[in-house]
């Protein structure tokens, strides 16, 4: 098929997509069309054998520009919650279910848009690689999209399992709110409740990681 002047588009102007692609490098991924509108792919970051993995939804505007996960306001809230929970940042690998920023224009701003199920499924390829490489004891799923990606299901409503310790694929999974939900909450009471739930989830993850380390000794 011929190419247009944009190397990322075919001659009809549609983004290049190959759902069956098995790329070796994240920046070469064309498994869904989100690569076309993003500045760059954003891989996970952290120690390669961290006992805790935190999975968010997708990079935001700040992360898309920086090429690193959780460097914006949601990342700062998460750092605060980790500190309050007594979890060392060096024990945590952070990533997202979807590695490219999905957005829609609103004036001069790029506003977050929730990934579609096909985009979550396409990016499971990379999440599986991270899970295999890092080998976490516990995964903290931040928000509904992350929970779908981690459990590989559409049928587990986040609100029904907040803070519970689930098991999937030989590891613990703790669902909680995405930190951006706390930032967007319309009132102080909701913000404080959501933040407290995130801290509690991280405390539980930290305890599970410590227990697992103790059993290995």
Q: Walk me through the domains of the chain, giving residue ranges and CATH numbers.
A: 29-216 (3.40.470.10)
The whole-number pLDDT of residue 14 equals 62
Instruction: Check residue 15 and give its pLDDT.
Output: 79
For residue 44, give the DSSP letter. Answer: -
Give the β-pairing of 52-56 and 92-96: parallel
Name the pTM for this structure: 0.91
Q: What DSSP letter does each residue of 120-184 carry, written as one string?
A: HHHHHHHHHHHHHHH--SEEEEESHHHHHHHHT-S---HHHHTT--EEETTEEEEEE--HHHHHH
Low-confidence ranges of the chain (pLDDT < 50): 1-12
Strands (E), 66-119: 92-96, 103-106, 109-112
> What pLDDT sits at residue 161?
97
Q: What is the model's pLDDT at position 74?
A: 94
The set of residues, in sequence order, having a beta carbon less than 8 Å from that of 154 and lying 6+ positions away, is 117, 148
- CA distances to 14, 37, 56, 57, 144 from 181, rounded to whole Å, are 33, 24, 12, 12, 11
Residue 69 CA to residue 64 CA, distance in Å, equals: 8
CA pair distance 70, 63, nearest whole angstrom: 6
Quote the DSSP letter at residue 16. Answer: P
Task: Check residue 22 and give its pLDDT.
Answer: 96
């Amino acid at each position: 098929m011929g190419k247009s002047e944009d190397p990322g588009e075919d001659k009809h102007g549609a983004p290049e997509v190959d759902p069956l692609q098995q790329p070796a490098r994240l920046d070469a991924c064309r498994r869904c069309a989100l690569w076309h509108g993003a500045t760059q792919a954003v891989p996970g970051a952290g120690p390669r054998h961290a006992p805790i993995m935190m999975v968010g939804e997708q990079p935001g505007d700040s992360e898309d520009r920086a090429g690193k996960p959780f460097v914006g306001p949601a990342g700062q809230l998460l750092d605060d919650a980790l500190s309050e929970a007594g979890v060392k940042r060096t024990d945590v690998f952070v990533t997202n279910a979807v590695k490219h920023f999905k957005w829609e224009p609103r004036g001069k701003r790029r506003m977050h848009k929730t990934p579609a199920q096909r985009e979550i499924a396409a990016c499971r390829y990379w999440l599986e690689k991270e899970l295999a490489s890092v080998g976490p004891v516990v995964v903290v799923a931040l928000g509904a999209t992350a929970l779908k990606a981690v459990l590989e299901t559409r049928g587990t409503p986040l609100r029904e399992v907040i803070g519970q310790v689930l098991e999937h694929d030989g590891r613990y999974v703790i669902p909680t709110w995405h930190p951006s939900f706390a930032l967007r909450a319309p009132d102080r009471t909701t913000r404080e409740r959501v933040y407290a739930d995130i801290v509690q989830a991280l405390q539980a993850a930290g305890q599970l990681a410590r227990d697992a380390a103790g059993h290995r000794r």
